[in-house]
Chain A
Amino acid sequence: RKEVEQDPGPFNVPEGATVAFNCTYSNSASQSFFWYRQDCRKEPKLLMSVYSSGNEDGRFTAQLNRASQYISLLIRDSKLSDSATYLCVVNKGQAGTALIFGKGTTLSVSS
Chain B
Amino acid sequence: GAGVSQSPSNKVTEKGKDVELRCDPISGHTALYWYRQSLGQGLEFLIYFQGNSAPDKSGLPSDRFSAERTGGSVSTLTIQRTQQEDSAVYLCASSSDSASGANVLTFGAGSRLTVL
Contacts and interface: CB of A to CB of B under 8 A. Distances in A.
Contacts of A96: 50, 53, 97-102
Nearest to A99: B102
Given A32-B102, A43-B108, A45-B107, A97 B56 contact: yes
B104 A101 contact: no
A34 B104 contact: yes
A46 interface: yes
A93 to B, nearest CB: 11
Interface string B44-55: 010010100100
Instruction: Determine the main DSSP class of B at the interface with A.
Output: loop
Interface in B17-49: 33, 35, 41-43, 45, 48
Contacts of B109: 43
A34 B93 CA distance: 15
A98 B100 CA distance: 12
Given A43-B107, A96-B53, A104 B101 contact: no
Contact of A87 (B43, B53, B104): B43
Given A43-B110, A46-B105, A101 B42 contact: yes
A63 interface: no
A79 interface: no
A43 B109 CA distance: 6
A96 B48 CA distance: 10
Give the top 8 A-B pairs by smallest Cβ distance, nearest first. Answer: A103-B42, A98-B48, A43-B107, A32-B102, A101-B43, A96-B99, A46-B104, A91-B102
Interface of A: 31-32, 34, 36, 43-46, 49, 87, 91-92, 95-104
